């Protein structure tokens, strides 16, 4: 580096000024030579010179030069040693310096890996010309330019592709840079989709100030990476809110993974990133089965489990935060327990509000944490049949604590008992466990996986007011009907308790509704609230048949509907004037309007409501009592006489008839 350049680097303002004046002077033809003078010789394609053994062409394409960025400059502006010299000049010329004009870039270059290598005399070190060319320099925006974004990977790749001398002979930490890049989301964007805003080599490494990542000034230094990535991904905090809580990104970098921990350099993929190199570092120790903590706890991590888990592609350091990559044992700075909530923030919030989470907050030893259900390194997704959280295995999982006699069941004070067995025998349990229908409702479908609360809590999914919605997740059609029915709190505003799904169907012993057991019991359920009307129903033929245990007769819901029960006054009701005949006709095809006048809840005990029935009944009863009184008395009076009569006959005494008596006389 010459003194002028050093000075220029220090005072770029002056340099620009000097350059401008210089240009103006040139334009006014004060120069010793015109470019045409140079081209007199250099337009000859056969003009060559020998350097050592190699022959170098000295041909300069005039047209190419004229259309280049420097086309308007005179040759001697770069080849300064020829200024004012006689032509033809000496074959040995000074090296062209770009610095006088491009001082800033020159200065950066001097500091960077390329510049330093060059200064060391490294033959493989690139200089300005290596990238920008000589007489054919074009601006970066020109697609023909070697430094056009689209061509940058090729340009850098000349040296940094696998197998190139630089890659082979120099210490470059990354391998397969070009291949990886071209397959990465950036490479794909640039090379396949032609997005020139997509990151190329220089976007991250810069064009002239290429520094090793260990240099704190480097754009790829750990502390700067976020900033570098953020030049394009400016809203990335929003995307990574769960990880960085919005602001930790820059404030608490030391506990957070850097972009490249997850999105490896050159391999940044749209799909989630491969396990980082750091994992291999961790596993070097932790894959040994015997590894134990000072307290004797096994610290062994099964790579097999890890590989099959949901977190197979998650770096160790993402969960075990606080690692310091610069240390030999990066994990020695890990002090916190794994906080699943740093990624699973919403789930964690649900958990904290749940009974499980509240117990955990109270340091209750029975409280289940994430690990109890999901495990640690073998955490599999709920769609993995081998996962503890796979639907068919959930009842067993919850049963670990909620089975009768286990720790959760022992604490429980409510009415639901033996829930695991009951569930197993229920329609849902059979569907799930016997028929293997994984879409069947199991524990977490109703109670929530992370937000389970006791049914008394208004926020609980199984709270009376929410049950319909919870069931409606699967039985949506029913929910729609129910919401319009008289039993829905949306329709009926009352202080009395309205029946929720579970009132009739139960919670854990839900049965098929097309079997007689359920159909008969449901009437008792209706009768719990509608006592009088249920009693009178049992006085009628329908009621009597169902009481005998047969379902092939009209039951409450056959006439009133099951989920769409409406007051009879509602025109939509199955029993409204317009619909009642059709309802009867479901069973009695010949039913007419008059037929529908049958009193389905008639009782002969209510003289107010049903006077005719009342009096007919008492008329009949009077007849019955009268007949029995007369008949009974007759019989009772007869009995002693008859005994006497029999005795007489037995004793052989001919009981005398009147006539005989008469004859005797």
Cβ 562 to another protein, closest distance in Å? Answer: 23
Task: Give the separation between CA 33 and CA 41, rounded to whole angstroms.
Answer: 13
Q: How many CB atoms lie within 10 A of CB 404?
A: 14
Token look-up 């990133």 returns: 273
Task: Give the separation between CA 158 and CA 126, rounded to whole angstroms.
Answer: 11
- State the distance between the two ends of the chain, measured CA to CA, in whole angstroms: 177
Distances (CA, A) of 22 to 3, 77, 99, 393: 18, 9, 15, 83
**Phi, psi torsion values for 476, nearest 5 degrees:** -65, -40
Secondary structure letter of residue 48 according to DSSP: E
Task: Give the separation between CA 243 and CA 344, rounded to whole angstroms.
Answer: 9
Cβ 570 to another protein, closest distance in Å? Answer: 21
Cβ 527 to another protein, closest distance in Å? Answer: 13
Nearer to another protein, 361 or 643 (CB): 643
Cβ 550 to another protein, closest distance in Å? Answer: 5
Task: Give the separation between CA 544 and CA 98, rounded to whole angstroms.
Answer: 108
Nearer to another protein, 61 or 591 (CB): 591
Task: Give the separation between CA 528 and CA 492, rounded to whole angstroms.
Answer: 18
Cβ 658 to another protein, closest distance in Å? Answer: 5
Angle, vertex CA 405, rays to CA 414 and CA 504, nearest 5: 35
Task: Give the separation between CA 517 and CA 659, rounded to whole angstroms.
Answer: 71
Cβ 601 to another protein, closest distance in Å? Answer: 10
Cβ 341 to another protein, closest distance in Å? Answer: 58
Cβ 530 to another protein, closest distance in Å? Answer: 17
Q: What is the DSSP string of 359-400?
A: HHHTT-TT---HHHHH-STT---TTSTTSTTSGGGHHHHHHH
Task: Give the separation between CA 185 and CA 199, rounded to whole angstroms.
Answer: 9
Nearer to another protein, 49 or 646 (CB): 646
Cβ 577 to another protein, closest distance in Å? Answer: 14
Which helix (H) or strand (E) segment holds residue 50: the answer is strand 48-51
Nearer to another protein, 3 or 548 (CB): 548
Nearer to another protein, 104 or 591 (CB): 591
Nearer to another protein, 195 or 581 (CB): 581
Cβ 610 to another protein, closest distance in Å? Answer: 8
Cβ 618 to another protein, closest distance in Å? Answer: 10
**Phi, psi torsion values for 50, nearest 5 degrees:** -105, 125
Nearer to another protein, 396 or 539 (CB): 539
Task: Give the separation between CA 572 and CA 509, rounded to whole angstroms.
Answer: 32
CB 353 within 8 A of CB 459: yes
Cβ 480 to another protein, closest distance in Å? Answer: 33
Token look-up 């033959």 returns: 123
- What lies within 8 Å, CB to CB, of 291 at 6+ separation is 285, 298, 299, 300
Cβ 493 to another protein, closest distance in Å? Answer: 34
Nearer to another protein, 436 or 626 (CB): 626
Nearer to another protein, 366 or 547 (CB): 547
Nearer to another protein, 304 or 578 (CB): 578
Cβ 578 to another protein, closest distance in Å? Answer: 17
- What lies within 8 Å, CB to CB, of 500 at 6+ separation is 464, 465, 467, 468
Nearer to another protein, 231 or 642 (CB): 642
3-state secondary structure 517-548: HHHHHHHHHHHHHCHHHHHHHCCCHHHHHHHC
Which residues is 54 bridged to in the sheet? 51
CB 534 within 8 A of CB 527: yes
Nearer to another protein, 87 or 620 (CB): 620
Give me the count of residues in the chain.
665
Nearer to another protein, 320 or 588 (CB): 588
Nearer to another protein, 458 or 622 (CB): 622
Cβ 638 to another protein, closest distance in Å? Answer: 6
Q: What is the DSSP string of 84-125?
A: T--SS--S--PPP-STTTSHHHHHHHHHSHHHHHHHHT-TT-
Task: Give the separation between CA 172 and CA 123, rounded to whole angstroms.
Answer: 16
Binding site for another protein (CB under 8 A): 538, 540-541, 543-545, 547-550, 552-553, 588-592, 594-599, 602, 604, 610, 612-613, 616-617, 620-621, 623-624, 627-628, 631-632, 634-635, 637-643, 645-646, 649, 655-659, 661
Nearer to another protein, 45 or 634 (CB): 634
Task: Give the separation between CA 405 and CA 537, rounded to whole angstroms.
Answer: 42
**CA pseudo-torsion sign 487, 490, 491, 495:** positive
């Amino acid at each position: 580096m010459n003194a002028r350049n050093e000075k220029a680097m220090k005072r770029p303002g002056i340099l620009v000024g000097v350059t401008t004046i210089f240009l103006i002077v040139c334009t006014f033809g004060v120069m010793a030579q015109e470019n045409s003078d140079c081209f007199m010789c250099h337009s000859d394609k056969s003009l060559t010179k020998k350097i050592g053994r190699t022959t170098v062409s000295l041909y300069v394409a005039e047209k190419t030069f004229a259309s280049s960025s420097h086309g308007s400059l005179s040759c001697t502006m770069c080849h300064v040693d020829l200024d004012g010299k006689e032509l033809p000049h000496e074959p040995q010329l000074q090296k062209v310096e770009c610095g006088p004009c491009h001082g800033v870039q020159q200065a950066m270059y001097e500091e960077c890996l390329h510049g330093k290598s060059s200064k060391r005399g490294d033959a493989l070190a690139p200089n300005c010309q290596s990238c920008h060319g000589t007489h054919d320099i074009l601006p970066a925006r020109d697609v023909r330019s070697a430094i056009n974004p689209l061509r940058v990977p090729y340009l850098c790749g000349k040296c940094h592709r696998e197998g190139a001398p630089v890659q082979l002979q120099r210490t470059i930490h990354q391998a397969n840079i070009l291949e990886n890049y071209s397959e990465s989301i950036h490479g794909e964007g640039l090379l396949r989709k032609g997005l020139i805003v997509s990151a190329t080599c220089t976007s991250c490494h810069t064009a002239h100030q290429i520094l090793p990542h260990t240099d704190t000034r480097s754009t790829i230094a750990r502390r700067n990476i976020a900033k570098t990535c953020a030049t394009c991904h400016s809203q990335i905090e929003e995307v990574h809110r769960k990880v960085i809580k919005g602001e930790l990104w820059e404030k608490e970098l030391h506990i957070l993974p850097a972009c490249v921990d997850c999105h490896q350099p050159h391999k940044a993929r749209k799909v989630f990133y491969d396990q980082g190199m750091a994992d291999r570092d961790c596993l070097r120790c932790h894959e040994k089965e015997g590894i134990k903590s000072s307290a004797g706890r096994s610290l062994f991590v099964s790579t097999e489990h890890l590989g099959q888990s949901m977190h197979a592609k998650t770096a160790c350091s993402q969960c075990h935060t606080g690692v310091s990559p610069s240390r030999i044992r990066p994990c020695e700075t890990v002090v916190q327990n794994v906080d699943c909530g740093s990624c699973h923030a919403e789930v964690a919030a649900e958990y904290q509000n749940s009974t499980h989470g509240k117990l955990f907050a109270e340091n209750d030893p029975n409280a289940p944490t994430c690990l109890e259900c999901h495990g640690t390194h073998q955490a599999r997704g709920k769609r993995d049949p081998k996962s503890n959280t796979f639907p068919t295995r959930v009842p067993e999982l919850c049963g670990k604590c909620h089975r009768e006699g286990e720790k959760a069941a022992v604490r429980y004070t409510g009415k639901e008992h033996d829930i695991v067995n009951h569930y197993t025998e229920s329609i849902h349990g059979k569907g799930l466990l016997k028929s293997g229908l994984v879409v069947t409702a199991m524990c977490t479908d109703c109670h929530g996986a992370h937000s389970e609360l006791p049914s008394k809590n208004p926020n609980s999914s199984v709270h009376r007011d929410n049950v319909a919605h919870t069931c409606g997740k699967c039985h949506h059609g029913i929910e729609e009907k129910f919401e319009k029915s008289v039993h829905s709190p949306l329709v009926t505003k009352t202080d009395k308790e309205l029946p929720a799904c579970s009132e009739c169907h139960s919670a854990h012993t839900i049965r098929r509704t097309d079997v007689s057991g359920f159909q008969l019991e449901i009437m008792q359920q209706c009768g719990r609230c509608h006592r009088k009307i249920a009693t009178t129903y049992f006085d009628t033929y329908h009621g009597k048949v169902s009481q005998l245990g047969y379902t092939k007769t009209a039951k409450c819901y056959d006439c009133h509907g099951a989920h769409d029960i409406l007051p009879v006054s509602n025109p939509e009701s199955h029993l409204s004037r317009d619909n009642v005949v059709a309802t009867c006709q479901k069973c009695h095809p010949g039913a007419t309007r008059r037929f529908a006048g049958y009193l389905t809840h008639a009782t002969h005990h209510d003289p107010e409501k049903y006077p005719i029935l009342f009096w007919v009944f008492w008329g009949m009863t009077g007849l019955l009592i009268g007949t029995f009184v007369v008949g009974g008395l007759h019989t009772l009076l007869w009995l002693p006489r008859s005994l006497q009569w029999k005795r007489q006959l037995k004793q052989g005494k001919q009981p005398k008839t009147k006539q005989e008596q008469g004859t005797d006389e």
